[in-house]
Structure 1
Amino acid sequence: MMGSRIRREKRTIARMIALYEQQCPQAISSPGHYQALNAYAEKRLDKCVFGEQKPACKQCPVHCYQPAKREEMKLIMRWAGPRMLWRHPVLTVLHLIDDRRPVPELPEKYRPKK
């Protein structure tokens, strides 16, 4: 079962991708690219090892995105982040609050064996 934190993260990422796709002049125009990227991000959130206690992605010790997709998401977030404050202020404030939370310990089953 998915909690409210993961649902909110999915909604925030979907809004950032949509904003970037609509407004950014360099946006990739291949059909379905951003829908596929959003589906990938949702799948990664569903499998997050931290679950509802997940830190902001930029602070996370586990990099679950493929390198190319991670760089693309960083670009989208860097561009859309400041613009989100005007378009989606509640999501932006909640995301900023989440960003200040401490990073939880990695669950036992994901820790490296000694």
Structure 2
Amino acid sequence: MARTPDTPAVARRREREKRTVSQMVAIHCAGHHQKEARTEKSYAGEALCPACKELDDYCVLHTERCRSMARKTSCEACGNHCYAPAQQARIREVMRYAGPRMMLHHPVAAVRHLMGK
């Protein structure tokens, strides 16, 4: 079943969500993995290790495919959890670490993310 085309507002929200989660993955990667291991680029353009790049790609793909973007407030409040359990656990770990640090690294994105909830 094909997704209906996004309105301009939903397209902006989808793009912002992909960029925000990518920035959070990059913060987590920088805090947990050696600089030499970060050879890949995130969706947001930041350095990632291959394992974090895999998670970043997964999150971006699932955000792109989300059919509930127009009506949901956040993924945790969504009735349809599209992440596999292993990826859910990984992204929770990333958000738990990166969330408090977002204000230092990406303050505008952090405030927008919090206001969106």
Smaller-chain TM-score bracket: 0.7 to 0.9
Q: Secondary structure at the match of 2:20?
A: helix
Q: Which residue, out of 41, 55, 61, partners 1:43?
A: 61
Which of the pair has the greater relative contact order for Cα pairs under 8 Å at 6+ separation? Answer: 1
Q: Secondary structure at the match of 1:8?
A: helix
Q: Which has the higher Rg, Structure 1 or Structure 2?
A: 1
| Structural mapping, 1:12-91, within 5 Å | 12-24=20-32, 32-91=50-109
* Identical positions, percent: 33
Distance in 1 separating the partners of 2:54 and 2:71? 26
Distance in 2 separating the partners of 1:60 and 1:11? 19
What displacement does 1:46 show? 1.1
Number of aligned residues: 96
Distance in 2 separating the partners of 1:93 and 1:19? 16
Aligned residue identity for 2:106: H
What displacement does 1:51 show? 2.7
What displacement does 1:32 show? 1.2
What displacement does 1:55 show? 2.0
Distance in 1 separating the partners of 2:62 and 2:72? 12
Q: Secondary structure at the match of 2:73?
A: coil
TM-score normalized by the length of structure 2: 0.74
Unaligned 5+ runs, structure 1: 100-114
In the TM superposition, structure 1's runs of 4+ consecutive aligned residues that sit over 4 Å from their partners are none
What displacement does 1:42 show? 0.8
Aligned residue identity for 2:23: R
Note the alpha carbon deviations across 1:73-107, whole angstroms, 9 max, x for none.
001001100000111110001000111xxxxxxxx
What displacement does 1:58 show? 1.6
Distance in 2 separating the partners of 1:75 and 1:66? 14
Note the alpha carbon deviations across 1:42-87, whole angstroms, 9 max, x for none.
1101111213333211211111000000000001001100000111
Give the RMSD, CA atoms, in angstroms. Answer: 1.8
